Amino acid sequence: MRKLFISTIATLIGLSIIWQVTAAERTPAPKDAYLYIGWPNDGEVIPANRPFRVWFGLRHMGVAPKDVDAPFTGHHHLVIDRDLPPFDQEIPSDRNFLHFGSGQTETMIELPAGKHTLQLLMGDHNHIPHDPPIYSKKITIDVR
C-alpha cells in the first residue's frame, strides 16, 4: 500500500513536470498585444454569394509566416462560426479554422446566407496560441 502511494506520488510529480514542460512550450506574447477585426464591423450586413474582404488588425505584435520563430510574432487564424479552440494545442485546420501561415494580413471569404460569427486568434510558428492567448472580439455578421 505504501509502495503504491509512493509510486502514485512519483507519477504525479512526473506528470506535473511533463505538464510544466508542455506549458513552457507556449510562446510568450506581449502583454499589450491587441488583435481585432478591422473589417467587417460587428453587425455588418453583407451581400450573400459574393466574396468579401476580412481585414486583420494587430498592434504591439508582429506577423510572421508559420515556421518562422521570431520574438513577439505569430500568424493569423480566422475562426468562423465556432468558439475558440483549446489554447494548449495546435489550432485545428478546417473550414471553420482558417490558417494564414504565409503571413497574410487580410483575406477574401464567401459565406452562405444567415448569421455568422468571425473571430481572430494568433498562433505561433507551431500554430499554438500564445501565452497569454491573443484573440479578437467575436463579431456577428448578417449575410443576406
Give Cα 35 distance to the centre of its chain: 10
Residues 23-82 that bind another protein (CB under 8 A): 38, 55-59, 61-65, 68, 70-73
DSSP-derived secondary structure for 10-48 = HHHHHHHHHHHHHHHTSPB--TT-EEEEEESPTT-EE-T
| Position 130 contacts Cu ion (CB under 5 A) | no
Q: Pick the closer one to another protein by CB: 63 or 78.
A: 63
| Position 76 contacts Cu ion (CB under 5 A) | no
User: Rounded to whole angstroms, how far apart are CA atoms 114 and 69?
Assistant: 39
Indicate which of another protein, Cu ion, none lies near residue 127 (CB less than 5 to 8 Å, by partner kind).
Answer: Cu ion
Query: Shortest approach of Cu ion to residue 98 CB, angstroms?
Result: 9
Q: 116: Cβ–Cβ under 8 A, 6 or more apart, which residues?
A: 80, 81, 140, 141, 143
Instruction: Please report how many Cα atoms fall inside a 13 Å half-sphere around the Cα of residue 84, on the Cβ side.
Output: 18
The one-letter code for the residue type at 87 is F
| Residue selected from 40, 74, 123, 133 as contacting Cu ion according to rule CB under 5 A | 123
Nearest CA among 137, 136, 125 for reference residue 28:
125
| Residue selected from 127, 128, 129, 135 as contacting Cu ion according to rule CB under 5 A | 127
94, β-bridge pairs: 97
Q: Pick the closer one to another protein by CB: 56 or 97.
A: 56
Binding site for Cu ion (CB under 5 A): 99, 123, 127
Binding site for another protein (CB under 8 A): 38, 55-59, 61-65, 68, 70-73, 100, 102-106
